DNA sequence: AGGATAGTACCGACTGGTTGGTATGTTTGT
DNA sequence: ACAAACATACCAACCAGTCGGTACTATCCT
């Protein structure tokens, strides 16, 4: 047996993974440190060895979340970017986002969105992290938006439209959590994506890109 | 002193009032019963005399919230309803909603929206109440929408548009909580109100109603 | 080589404070 | 007198965070 590597996932990573999952499902306040440890298969001693506090773990989770979302965005543009025009890239990005958001397996709850509501007035550092997640996602989307607008020679407030996109997703997720009806996500987000394409000046043909 | 009436606000009402306020600001989980009692100036014994549990109070708060929102909606339509056409009523309703939502004194946090995120997976009864609040608000808005669509002889999915309206508000409030920037609310909600009016088939003149 | 030293990762019993809820008694309106 | 409306003291469970200790490895001194 010549070192048949069996990577021993380090405790911090296991804790972050479990934290993201539990915080998303039960919220920051309602998730006890013990539950995170149990889910990660790690002792409490190890937890506080690697993280100064529960809040510190939450911050790390937020970073992880942003990393994941950035990865998803990058993964998309890498696939669709080959030779396609900017409007098509934007349109397919939005269409794929809908499918991604509506899939209960991968999504159905946004970490910063869930967290910021509870801790907005009590944990300034965590609020700031949540805001950063939104800002980063905003910027990534705005890039696609600006390219499309430039291609169409239209002058639009890409900042406002990007905020609308992020906000629509957050709102749709809340309505989903209340109603348990995934169709809200699809309905709301696709309405807004139509509106955005229209503001950019896309033709009807461009709006209806293949999946 | 011939009974110079000084209505002795009953304890349940005081508790509901304080509950709505605290739950909105700190969330359901992070708000201790003691804090609600202190804010209401009521003893803990009185609390559990009137409410079976913390969850029962939260349900009552949710009802109170719905009542308030319904009152606001009714108050509006009573003012604007005199002889005005349905499209104008809808347009001014949405415009006034923006001002209402963006005013930190009266709003900046929605009780069912804040609550449902935390308790969606742990308190089914509370989740159902939150959903009811959304449904009721949805129905009230859909009425305005249907009247306007009927007036314009346009066929639109008023259910979808009403969900979009509610969702947009929820999303805008999350982004506001993260960024502390009220302009997100104004920006997002007015974009969607433009979209809705456009779907209804309103003229540009109708879209730009006086405040 | 090998023993002392030090640093890192980890364990789990424990602590001090908090929480939702209760038990028991007192006041108040009728 | 009797019940509803309160008040106070209390409890068991729970929670974030601590602390003394162990196992393992790396480094250094002789």
Distance CA B88, CA B98 (A): 16
Backbone angles phi, psi at B203, to 5 degrees: -75, 165
B171 part of contact set with chain A, CB < 8 Å? yes
User: B81: domain CATH number?
Assistant: 1.10.357.10
Q: Is the CB of B31 under 7 A from strand C?
A: yes
> Is some CB atom of chain B closer than 8 A to the CB atom of A206?
no
B134: domain range?
Answer: 58-207
Report chain A's mean pLDDT, rounded to a whole number: 90
For residue B7, being part of any structural domain is answered with no
- CA-based R_g, chain B, Å: 19
Q: Is A12 on the interface with B (CB under 8 A)?
A: no
Q: For chain B, how many structural domains are there in total?
A: 1
Residue A64 lies in a domain: yes
Evaluate whether residue B108 is within a structural domain: yes
- On chain B, the residues whose CB falls within 8 A of the CB of A25 are 121
In a domain, B128, yes or no: yes
Dig out the tokens for A83 from the structure.
């030779």
Q: Does residue B50 lie within any of the structural domains?
A: no
Q: Is B2 helix (H, G, I), strand (E, B) or coil?
A: coil
Q: Is residue B20 part of a domain?
A: no
Determine the average pLDDT of the residues in A127-156. 95
B10 within domain boundaries: no
CA neighbours within 13 Å on the CB side: how many for A74?
Answer: 7
Q: Is residue A71 part of a domain?
A: yes
Hey, what are B37's tokens? 């009692």
pLDDT 10s digits, A61-99 = 999 999 999 999 998 877 765 667 899 999 999 999 999
Best probe of the A interface among B122, B177, B178, B196, by most A CBs < 10 A, is B178
The residue in chain A having the minimum alpha-carbon distance to the alpha carbon of residue B160 is: A187
Hey, CA dihedral for A66, A72, A75, A81, is it positive or negative?
Answer: negative
Q: What is the pLDDT along chain B (211 residues), one digit of tens a residue?
A: 343 345 577 878 999 999 999 999 999 999 999 999 999 999 999 999 999 999 999 999 999 999 999 999 998 877 765 667 899 999 999 999 999 999 878 877 999 999 999 999 999 999 999 999 999 999 999 999 999 999 999 999 999 999 999 999 999 999 999 999 999 999 999 999 999 999 998 776 666 655 4
Q: Calculate the alpha carbon distances from B61 to A186, B12, B136, B172, B199 in Å.
A: 30, 10, 15, 22, 35
Q: Which of A52, A50, A27, A55 is nearest to A40 (CA)?
A: A50
């Amino acid at each position: 047996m010549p070192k048949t590597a069996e990577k021993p996932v380090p405790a911090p990573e296991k804790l972050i993974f479990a934290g993201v999952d539990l915080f998303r499902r039960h919220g920051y306040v309602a998730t006890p440190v013990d539950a995170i440890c149990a889910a990660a298969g790690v002792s409490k001693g190890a937890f506080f060895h690697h993280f100064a506090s529960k809040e510190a773990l939450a911050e790390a989770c937020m970073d992880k979340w942003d990393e994941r979302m950035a990865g998803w965005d990058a993964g998309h543009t890498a696939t669709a970017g080959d030779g396609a025009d900017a409007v098509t890239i934007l349109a397919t990005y939005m269409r794929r986002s809908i499918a991604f958001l509506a899939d209960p397996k991968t999504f159905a709850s946004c970490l910063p969105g869930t967290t910021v509501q509870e801790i907005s007035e009590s944990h300034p550092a965590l609020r700031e992290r949540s805001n950063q997640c939104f800002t980063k996602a905003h910027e990534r989307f705005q890039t696609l938006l600006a390219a499309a607008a430039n291609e169409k020679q239209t002058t639009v407030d890409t900042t406002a439209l990007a905020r609308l996109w992020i906000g629509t997703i957050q709102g749709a997720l809340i309505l989903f959590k209340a109603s348990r009806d995934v169709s809200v996500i699809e309905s709301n987000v696709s309405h807004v994506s139509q509106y955005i394409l229209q503001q950019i000046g896309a033709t009807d043909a461009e709006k209806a890109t293949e999946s």
